[in-house]
């Protein structure tokens, strides 16, 4: 008799097999630069209210940049 856990593990392995084969062929992306900076924005209605946000920008060797 097969247990539910074994059945689900086998089904997951079968459905992920094509993705794993594709992932093995893809070149790994490396992070090349990380920048951190602060943005200060004025409030909408109150001129004395200021919003501060911390932002990070990550660049990779594949040319992809995320903020």
Label residue 67 by pLDDT band (50, 70, 90).
Answer: very high
54 or 26, higher pLDDT:
54
Residue length, the chain?
Answer: 67
Residue 5 has which token pair?
């856990």
**Measured between alpha carbons, how far is 50 from 33 in angstroms, rounded to an integer?**
29
Q: Is the pLDDT of residue 56 over 70?
A: yes
Average pLDDT, the chain: 85
Residue 61 has which token pair?
């060797």
Q: Which residues pair with 31 in a beta bridge?
A: 60
**Measured between alpha carbons, how far is 5 from 17 in angstroms, rounded to an integer?**
18
Q: Specify the pLDDT at position 13.
A: 66
Q: Is the pLDDT of residue 38 over 90?
A: yes
């Amino acid at each position: 008799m097969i247990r539910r856990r074994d059945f689900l593990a086998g089904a997951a392995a079968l459905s992920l097999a094509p993705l794993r084969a594709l992932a093995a062929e893809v070149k790994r992306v490396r992070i090349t630069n990380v920048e951190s900076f602060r943005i200060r924005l004025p409030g909408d209605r109150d001129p004395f209210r200021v919003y501060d946000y911390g932002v990070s920008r990550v660049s990779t060797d594949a040319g992809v940049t995320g903020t």
